Every structure is written in C-alpha cells, then in structure tokens.
C-alpha cells in the first residue's frame, strides 16, 4: 500500500523536483544567452533564472515551514510572502532598469521560461501526490442539530 503524504512531504518532494528541473534550465539559458547576446546575455539568463527560481522556491519553503500550522496561518504566510516577493521584484527591477551589464530580452525570456518550467514541475508533483485532504480522526461533527 502506498503511504499517504502530508503537506510537508509534498512540499519537500516539490522542492527537490523543482531544483532538479531548474538546474538544467539555468545551464541551457546561460549557454543560449551567451551565444545570442554575449556576456550581457549570460548575465540576463543568470539574473532571470535566479529571480524566477528563487521566488518560486521561496513559495515552497513557505508551505514547508507552515505545513503543520492552521490554514489561516498558512494562508497569511503565503499572502505575506507574495507581497514581499512583489516588493522585492519591483525594487530589483527598479535597480536594474538602467543597468547595461545584462540583456533585457534574455532576462525576460528566461524569467518566463523558468516560471513555466518550475510551476509545471511543482504542479506535477502535487497532482501525483497521494495525500490526505482532511483528517479522518478529527472529532468535529460539523453542525449537528
């Protein structure tokens, strides 16, 4: 019989899978960036993969750290993390706006590709996971009248 997983197990598995999928994306993006736009393309690829991968993996870490917490705490942590990531992204983009050491088209393309690849990987892990969605040993009877 297959063991049922909890949210922390699924988050750990998704984190491992995302890292394994993101690593070749970074290498391929860096090579393509280098050959299409030189050093600027390499920096654009590395920045794009770092930002996209880092932000997506932070979401998984948030799930992992709040797996045993109540849904309210988990939801609050996810929303707080999302808000923090948006602020960090806006600050990073503002700081990089006038920089000339990286290729903006390569950066944008790699961010989009890395987001799609990592999200697809995480989705695959969650869909394939066998986990409980409720606790059958809970004592609550609902609204018994």
**Distance between CA atoms of residues 102 and 89, nearest Å:** 16
The pLDDT value recorded for residue 31 is: 97
pTM: 0.76
The pLDDT value recorded for residue 104 is: 96
- Extract the residue ranges of the chain whose pLDDT is less than 50: none
The pLDDT value recorded for residue 137 is: 59
Residue 118: φ, ψ to 5°: -70, -40
Residues 6+ apart with CB under 8 A from 37: 44, 103, 105, 106
The pLDDT value recorded for residue 96 is: 93
- b vs e for 93-131, b when ≥16 Cβ sit within 10 Å of the residue's Cβ? eeeeeeeeebbbebbebbbebbbebbeebbeebeeebee
Residues 6+ apart with CB under 8 A from 12: 64
The pLDDT value recorded for residue 140 is: 55
The pLDDT value recorded for residue 35 is: 97
The pLDDT value recorded for residue 9 is: 78
Q: What angle do CA 123, 129, 135 make, to 5 degrees?
A: 120
């Amino acid at each position: 019989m297959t063991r049922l997983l909890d949210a922390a197990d699924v988050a750990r598995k998704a984190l491992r899978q995302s890292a394994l999928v993101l690593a070749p994306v970074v290498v391929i993006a860096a090579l393509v960036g280098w050959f299409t736009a030189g050093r600027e393309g390499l920096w654009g690829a590395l920045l794009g993969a770092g930002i996209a991968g880092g932000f997506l993996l932070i979401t998984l870490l948030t799930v992992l750290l709040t797996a045993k917490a109540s849904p309210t705490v988990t939801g609050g942590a996810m929303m707080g993390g999302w808000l923090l990531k948006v602020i960090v992204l806006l600050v990073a983009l503002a700081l990089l706006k006038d920089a000339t050491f990286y290729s903006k088209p390569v950066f944008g393309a790699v961010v989009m590709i890395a987001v799609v690849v990592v999200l697809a990987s995480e989705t695959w892990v969650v869909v394939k996971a066998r986990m409980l969605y409720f606790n059958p040993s809970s004592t609550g009877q609902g609204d018994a009248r």
